[in-house]
Amino acid sequence: MSAQPDREAMLDSVALYALGVLPREEAALIAAFIANDDGARREYVELRGAADALAHSADEPVDSARSARMKERLMARVRADAAAAAARPRRSAERRPAPAYPAWLWGTGLAAAAAIVFAVVTVAQDLTLRGDLAAADRRVGTLQSRLAQNERAAAQDRQMLADLLSPDATHYQVAEGSVVVRGDRLYFALSKLPPLPKGHVYQAWTAVKASTKMAPGPTFVPNPGSVTVVPLRVDATRVGTVALSVEPEGGSKAPTTTPTFVRPLT
């Protein structure tokens, strides 16, 4: 499938996000897409306006007796709260009077502090300027390399989002989330993983079709409270079964614990 239909499918999901009809896990993915893509951001701003306007259609006159009753209850609570809050600082001020210092002590102290700050700054500037040029060169090199890395990571993230949200992706449900296959790419998208014991990680496993031999995949520690997406660098068209298990840090060559799940891709 070309990149354009992928993008259109993702922009459709931006509309769902603007309307507020996406489940939390999918919404997090789309929010990330919007944050990183100018076109998606523009689309979101436009559609969010329409979604916000929708609420106005519910604006109807309220029965006057009901309206007055609600207001009375609310204002009684609010006035009581405001009165209590106004009383608090007064009592506090009465208990703890501010310490008083003579004015000459403030003046002398401030002058001494200013002199020390000036001396420190002058010496520091001299030392700093000498090293600045070399440090700036090193920083430019580091930033350029980091930028290239970020661009590669962003491209991978975009591909991953497109795969996860594509209507032609196949989602295999497991109790902890889902296994997503699109074309030759394979992902775990998991949100309900139990916490790991100390010194352990989760490890993904794959077995090629018609085989029971599990090949080790990536290890990971899930993000608590959000969706953990793990790309498995395998040719998904050849994979018959996937599994997940808890392993010691660093991973294992074969599963050493009862798998959290085993999912045939059928």
Partner 1 sequence: MDPGVRLMERVRARDTSAFEALYDGYHRLVFGIGLRMLGDPSSAEDLTQNVFLKIWTAPETFRGGSFVAWVSRVARNRALDVLRSKSARPEIEIPADLPLEGALDDDVLANLDAQRVRDALSALPPEQRSLIEMGFFGGATHQELARRTDTPLGTVKTRIRSGLRRLRESLGERVTR
Interacting residue ranges for partner 1, rule: CB under 8 A: 9, 11-24, 27-28, 31, 34-35, 41-42, 44-63, 66-67, 70-71, 73-75, 77-79, 81-82, 85-86, 167
Q: Output 16 or 215, the one with its CB closest to partner 1.
A: 16
Residue type, 14: V
Q: Are 174 and 204 in contact (CB under 8 A)?
A: no
Shortest distance, position 189 Cβ to partner 1, whole Å: 15
Q: How far is the CB of 98 from partner 1 (least distance, A)?
A: 23
Contacts of 92 (CB under 8 A, 6+ apart): none
When the beta carbons of 82 and 221 are compared against partner 1, the nearer one is: 82
**Among positive and negative, which fits the CA dihedral 178, 181, 182, 188?**
positive
> Closest distance between partner 1 and the C-beta of residue 38, in Å?
10
Q: How far is the CB of 11 from partner 1 (least distance, A)?
A: 7
What does the alpha-carbon distance between residue 121 and residue 224 come to, in Å, rounded to a whole number?
45
CB of 168 to partner 1, least distance (A): 9
Nearer to partner 1 (CB atom), residue 70 or residue 115:
70
Task: Give whichever of 189 and 201 is closer to partner 1, judged by the CB atom.
Answer: 189
Closest CA to 214 of 180, 165, 179, 257: 257
Asked whether 234 and 211 are in contact (CB, 8 A), the reply is: no
Alpha-carbon span 36 to 125, nearest angstrom = 39
> Of the two residues 42 and 209, which places its CB atom closer to partner 1 in the complex?
42
